[in-house]
C-alpha cells in the first residue's frame, strides 16, 4: 500500500501533536505532505509553522486559507488527489456528542473518496490500533488497506462484535427458547469464522482477532478505549460509521473498502 500524498488539514489552528503524528505517516510511507490551514479568527504565524516543519525534515507544501472546511478540502482533494487525509479531532464525551458535532464530522458524512484519520488532539503518536470487522458488509479491500497502512506505524489487531441481544429479541419471538439459544450460538460461531476467513483472504495470513458481544457501535469503541488502543479503524462505507465516531473517545480511522 502506497500513500504518495497526504493532506493534513487544520480547521482552525495548527495542533502540534497532530503535526508530529502526520510526520510519522509521511516518513513511514515517504509521502508528500500537503498542509492546509483554515484560518478562522487569529492570524497564523507562517514562519513559525515553517520552522517547525523544517525541523521535522518533511517534504511538504503549506497553504493558509480562510475558513470553509467542506469547500476548501474538496478543492485540495480534487487538485492533489491525496491517498490519506488527516484532520485533528476534538475528544468529546459520548453523551455530549449527541448534541455537539465538530465541523470535521459534518464534512465526512458525505465524503468517501479516500482514507481519513481523525486523531484526537491529545494524540502525538499511534502505537496500538484495532480494526473493526463486520463480515456481513466489509470486503477484502477494506481489510487489506486498513491493515497495510496501520501496521506500518503501529501494532494492529482486529475486532469482531456479535450483537447477541439483537438476535435474542428477534428469535425468541418466533422460536422455542432452547432452539433460539442454539441458533444464536451457531450465528456467533459463524460470525467469528466468517471474520477469520475474510481476514485470511485479504492478508493471506493469520492475525489477532478480538471477539466481544454487544452492540458494535457502542461496545467496540468502549473496548478500544478501555484496552489502551490509540486508534479504531472503521470501513468508511459502513452505515453506522457516524455512530462509531460519536461513541469513540480515541482517534478514528476511516478506510475505503
Domain end position, chosen among 100, 124, 148: 124
Q: Which three cell numbers stand for residue 89?
A: 479531532
Give the position of cell 499511534: 126
Give the domain range for residue 215: 126-257
- Indicate if 187 and 148 belong to the same structural domain: yes
Query: In whole angstroms, what is the distance from residue 110 CA to residue 232 CA?
Result: 20
Helix, strand or coil for residue 256? coil
**C-alpha angle with apex 70: 65 to 73, nearest 5 degrees?**
55
- Indicate if 110 and 135 belong to the same structural domain: no
Domain end position, chosen among 91, 124, 157: 124
- Indicate if 107 and 179 belong to the same structural domain: no
Domain end position, chosen among 93, 124, 155: 124
Residue 209's domain is classified under what CATH number? 3.40.50.620
What is the tally of structural domains in the chain? 2
- Indicate if 176 and 189 belong to the same structural domain: yes
The reported pTM is: 0.91
In tens, the pLDDT along 103-122 reads: 667 667 767 889 999 999 99
Does the CA dihedral 206-207-212-216 come out positive or negative?
Answer: negative
In tens, the pLDDT along 71-103 reads: 888 899 999 999 999 999 887 777 776 677 776
Distance of alpha carbon 242 from the chain centroid: 11
- Indicate if 210 and 87 belong to the same structural domain: no
Amino acid at each position: 500500500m502506497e500513500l504518495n500524498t497526504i493532506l493534513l488539514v487544520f480547521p482552525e489552528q495548527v495542533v502540534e501533536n497532530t503535526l508530529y503524528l502526520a510526520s510519522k505517516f509521511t516518513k513511514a510511507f515517504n509521502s508528500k505532505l500537503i498542509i492546509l490551514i483554515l484560518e478562522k479568527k487569529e492570524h497564523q504565524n507562517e514562519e513559525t509553522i515553517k520552522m517547525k516543519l523544517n525541523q521535522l525534515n518533511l517534504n511538504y507544501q503549506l497553504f493558509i486559507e480562510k475558513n470553509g472546511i467542506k469547500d476548501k478540502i474538496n478543492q485540495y482533494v480534487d487538485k492533489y488527489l491525496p491517498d490519506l487525509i488527516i484532520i485533528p479531532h476534538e475528544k468529546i464525551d459520548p453523551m455530549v456528542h449527541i448534541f455537539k458535532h465538530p465541523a470535521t464530522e459534518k464534512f465526512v458524512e458525505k465524503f468517501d473518496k479516500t482514507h481519513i484519520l481523525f486523531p484526537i488532539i491529545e494524540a502525538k503518536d499511534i502505537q496500538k490500533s484495532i480494526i473493526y470487522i463486520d463480515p456481513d458488509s466489509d470486503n477484502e479491500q477494506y481489510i487489506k488497506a486498513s491493515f497495510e497502512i496501520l501496521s506500518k506505524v503501529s501494532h494492529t489487531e482486529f475486532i469482531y462484535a456479535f450483537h447477541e441481544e439483537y438476535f435474542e429479541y428477534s428469535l425468541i419471538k418466533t422460536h422455542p427458547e432452547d432452539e433460539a439459544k442454539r441458533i444464536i450460538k451457531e450465528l456467533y460461531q459463524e460470525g467469528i469464522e466468517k471474520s477469520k476467513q475474510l481476514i485470511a483472504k485479504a492478508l493471506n495470513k493469520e492475525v489477532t482477532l478480538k471477539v466481544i458481544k454487544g452492540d458494535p457501535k457502542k461496545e467496540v469503541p468502549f473496548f478500544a478505549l478501555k484496552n489502551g488502543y490509540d486508534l479504531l479503524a472503521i470501513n468508511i462505507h459502513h452505515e453506522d460509521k457516524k455512530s462509531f465516531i460519536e461513541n469513540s473517545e480515541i482517534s478514528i480511522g476511516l478506510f475505503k473498502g
